[in-house]
A and B are shown apart, each in its own frame.
Chain A
Amino acid sequence: EDKVVQSPLSLVVHEGDTVTLNCSYEVTNFRSLLWYKQEKKAPTFLFMLTSSGIEKKSGRLSSILDKKELFSILNITATQTGDSAVYLCAVEGRRSNTGKLIFGQGTTLQVKP
């Protein structure tokens, strides 16, 4: 059965710290891995990763995928209180399952001033 596991489940840091969030997966015929940020509303898209070893960056956030070891990490540098949110990792499997994302449990990040 397809599965996505995130760690840690929760994290408390102080402003300015760097955090690394982990996502491991088991999916039949991997297609893409996505990261979303969810505050008290709908998940907002951060990154979509399809190729191994290519880092995607957006400001202080970056992410990379390792398709051999079946995991991805999301890095946030110089954290700010506005980074406090639940970070969700999702995987899309084989072509016949297009449109179906399998989500991990999420990592709840709290950034203290």
Chain B
Amino acid sequence: KAGVTQTPRYLIKTRGQQVTLSCSPISGHRSVSWYQQTPGQGLQFLFEYFSETQRNKGNFPGRFSGRQFSNSRSEMNVSTLELGDSALYLCASSSGTETQYFGPGTRLLVL
């Protein structure tokens, strides 16, 4: 079985721009969770989608949004980028009842 894939792997943007990250879960997994990892804050939960519905949301501003498609692929969007949004963005998939498996992440640098 192929693992979780994320695109792009690296991204450089400037302040004020927006960005869309993509995540394809393991085949058969319907849950996709997104996390932000920074040296200062560690791994923090952004949101989780299950069967195209947002099931859980972390404490991030409304500039962070996401969606899930009928094939379980998910996208995350960050609008009006700030320097502090520079981070490794990880997505994780699960069947919904078992453990989460992480993708390789997208490293975003905001200049």
Which residues of A are interface residues toward B (Cβ below 8 A)?
Answer: 32, 34, 36, 41-45, 48, 88, 90, 97-106
Contacts and interface: CB of A to CB of B under 8 A. Distances in A.
B48 A45 contact: no
Contacts of A88: 43
B55 A105 contact: no
Given A42-B90, A98-B97, 8 more contacts: A41-B105, A98-B48, A98-B96, A99-B50, A100-B33, A101-B35, A103-B44, A106-B42
Interface string B25-54: 000000101010000001111001010000
Instruction: Specify the main secondary structure of chain B where it touches its partner.
Output: strand
B103 interface: yes
Interface string B79-107: 00000000000101010111111111100
A100 B56 contact: yes
B43 A42 contact: no
Interface centre among A34, A41, A48, A98 (most CB of B within 10 A): A98
Given A41-B104, A42-B104, A105-B42, A100 B90 contact: no
B8 interface: no
A105 B41 CA distance: 8
Given A43-B90, A98-B56, A104 B42 contact: yes
B42 A99 contact: no
A103 B43 contact: yes
Nearest to A103: B43
Interface centre among A41, A45, A101, A105 (most CB of B within 10 A): A101
A44 B4 CA distance: 11
